[in-house]
Amino acid sequence: MVSMCEWDESPLAIQHAIVDWDGQDRGIALAGDRGVGKTMGMALMMVGLAGAELDFSFENAHTLFKLFQTFTDEARERQKMLTGCGHLFIDDLGTEYAKDWNLGEFYELVNRRELLRLPTTITSNLSIDFWEQQGLQWSRIIDRLRGQAMDWIEIGGKSMRAQ
Ligand SMILES: Nc1ncnc2c1ncn2[C@@H]1O[C@H](COP(=O)(O)OP(=O)(O)O)[C@@H](O)[C@H]1O
Ligand SMILES: [Mg+2]
């Protein structure tokens, strides 16, 4: 399901999605401009999981893509851990670091998580329409993430930071 809302409804839309969220089996995708409350929404979800003593990990997308290019044992361990953790939160998925040569590894990660039925939650300042027009590899990634997401929320318009 993809829900759309305007910027002045964004805190409520995000909060409603989180209240309805079952907390375990599915992720949520939060898309919208900078400052609409995506990271805050994600933080609330993590607080919920921590309270229930459930396993989760958080990684900024930029750091995650850097990890794919780091060839140390430590980086490999971290990658393995992120692939197998109970719920993975990826903040700020964008295009600047999403080069073709490390998209394959990102696809592997989301695909493996889907096969293992492990939820992944993402935030992005880019819309689902945008992602779907970024070529085959991105459509495959978005397809896996959509299969995982209980809800895909797109928030239009202005930032709360600017208010
Ligand atoms: N539900 C909310 N109610 C009030 N302020 C909020 C809410 N969610 C986020 N904010 C505030 O809005 C600003 C932007 O939130 P943030 O989650 O960082 O946005 P994003 O990740 O979409 O860029 C922050 O200063 C944050 O504290
Ligand atoms: Mg953010």
Q: Where are the domains of the chain?
A: 2-162
Among 91, 158, 160, 161, the mutation site with the greatest number of ligand 1 atoms within 8 A of its Cβ is 160
Q: Give the pair of three-digit tokens for residue 118.
A: 């492990």
99 C-beta closer than 6 A to ligand 1:
no
Mean pLDDT of 89-107: 81
Nearest alpha carbon, ligand 1 atom 14: 35
pTM here is 0.88
pLDDT digits 0-9 by tens, 104-131? 999 999 999 999 999 999 999 988 888 8
Distance 144 CA to ligand 1 centre (A): 27
Question: Please, which pLDDT band fits residue 15 given cuts at 50, 70 and 90?
Answer: confident
**CATH homologous superfamily of domain 2-162?**
P-loop containing nucleotide triphosphate hydrolases (3.40.50.300)
Q: For residue 61, is pLDDT > 80?
A: yes
